[in-house]
Every structure is written in structure tokens, then in C-alpha cells.
Structure 1
């Protein structure tokens, strides 16, 4: 099972085999552990190149899990 960790003021850290595709659906080769850019300034997008440290990237407001609406009652 894959796992993605959001690193404070840094990239997404991805663990486990996943299929990563570009906007055209082409598979992008990855390893079992890699980082994805979150600051938007990497020269190796979608991968992180450490630029977030140089530019002083700071997380926006921490993400909150989306509210899960209550389940609808089963049809009568």
C-alpha cells in the first residue's frame, strides 16, 4: 500500500509503488520512495529539487480533512 506524507514547509513524500502520470496520461517513472514538489518552483517538476528551502516556502493554512456529510438513510 502506498503512503503520502505532507512534510511541513516541504514536499509530499511518497512511499510505495504507485503509478504517476502526467497531464497527457503518460507514465512518469518513479522509485518506491520519492518526493513531489509542493512549492511550485522546482526545476524538476513534478519532483522536488529542494528549492522550497531556498525560497523559504511556508505551508499555507494546514489542511483539514474534508467534512464527511452524514450518510443518507437507506431508501424505504
Structure 2
């Protein structure tokens, strides 16, 4: 990763957490997952591909749209 590149993590309304940038994603034992430059993490808890989002949140209308406070 270059010194100027920021990692961006976006909490999508009613959906996943989108991660963009060069990051390493580890499991609880410290083993790395294979990830690309951009990937989505499950927030609804229903994905069959956890920790990654598989779009299942759309099937049961997951409802969460947190906002950052200033």
C-alpha cells in the first residue's frame, strides 16, 4: 500500500460493510482470508459465506442505517 492510499470502510444502508483498500483480514486464530482490493462483510448475520456478504440481507429486508455523529 502506498503512503497516500487510505483504506475506506463504508457501512451500507440496510446492507454490508464495504472495505476498499489494501488490508489483511484475519480469522480468530490469526489465519488470513483471501481478499481483493474491495470486498463486503456481512452485517446481518445470515450470509452463508461469513464473514463475507452474499446478499442474503435483501431476502429478509435487513434494516440498519447508522449515521456518524459529529
TM-score normalised by the chain length of structure 1: 0.78
Cα RMSD for the two superposed structures: 1.3
Q: Which runs of 4 or more aligned residues in structure 1 lie more than 2 Å from their structure 2 counterparts after TM superposition? A: 62-65
**Whole-Å Cα distance in 2 between the matches of residues 47 and 36 of structure 1?**
4
Whether 1:7 and 2:12 are equivalent positions in the alignment is: yes
- Gap runs ≥5 in structure 1: 66-76
Question: Paired residue for 1:24, among 23, 29, 34?
Answer: 29
Give the length in aligned residue pairs.
64
Q: Bigger relative contact order, structure 1 or 2, given CA contacts below 8 A and separation 6+?
A: 2
Provide TM-score, normalisation by structure 2. Answer: 0.84
Tell me which structure has the larger Cα radius of gyration.
1
